[in-house]
Homo-oligomer: A and B are copies of this chain.
């Protein structure tokens, strides 16, 4: 699911692994009325392949990437919510990375589920009837949610293993040389320097306050 303001890495991490599955078809669904390019939060313009109206009814996986302002707009959009609710009702896996969980949330897809999200909005997940969990990947039934941005890579690999078995995922890991060596630590609130965490929490304050107003949309 692409919408204006999505975070490109949230999407491209999973896309890299899922799109490499032999025989897989990836639909890049836009919530815009036509197939104009969808701009990410940093301005990357990606060509979608299908509108919500033309998207196949039955999907193996439905996936929502995150973002900040654009994600709030998508989560407030009734048509996007109705589309997500409909496709999620029949999809084999209902998934998100980062604040994409807000989009699953408003569509009612997290009700009664354990779920995770970007650390900044994990505490808001109860607004959607979810039980929040601070983990890299959380699976509850057919709902699989990932933590912030870079967790999309771990999520994508895990989902390939689930869909096609571990050897296919291992091929993806080796060709992608996924043996991370972060040159700088501090990727979690607990491991970041306190002043960095405070600065970022201040930056995200407005976004988080707005996100607190989101609720499950009426069906």
Contact = CB atoms under 8 A, between A and B. Distances in A.
Contacts of A173: 182, 184-187, 192
Given A45-B47, A119-B177, A176-B149, A182 B154 contact: yes
A149 B173 CA distance: 10
Contacts of A45: 46-47
Contacts of A149: 16, 175-178
* Protomer copies: 2
A11 to B, nearest CB: 8
A200 interface: yes
Contacts of A183: 137, 154, 157-158, 161, 169
A137 to B, nearest CB: 7
Main secondary structure of the interface of A (DSSP, over half): loop
Contacts of A181: 136-137, 154
Interface of A: 7-9, 12-13, 15-16, 19-20, 26, 28, 37, 42-47, 98, 118-119, 136-137, 147-151, 153-154, 157-158, 161, 166-167, 169-171, 173-189, 191-193, 196-197, 199-200, 203-204
Given A170-B184, A175-B203, 13 more contacts: A9-B13, A9-B176, A20-B42, A44-B46, A45-B46, A118-B177, A136-B179, A149-B175, A153-B153, A169-B183, A174-B197, A179-B188, A180-B182
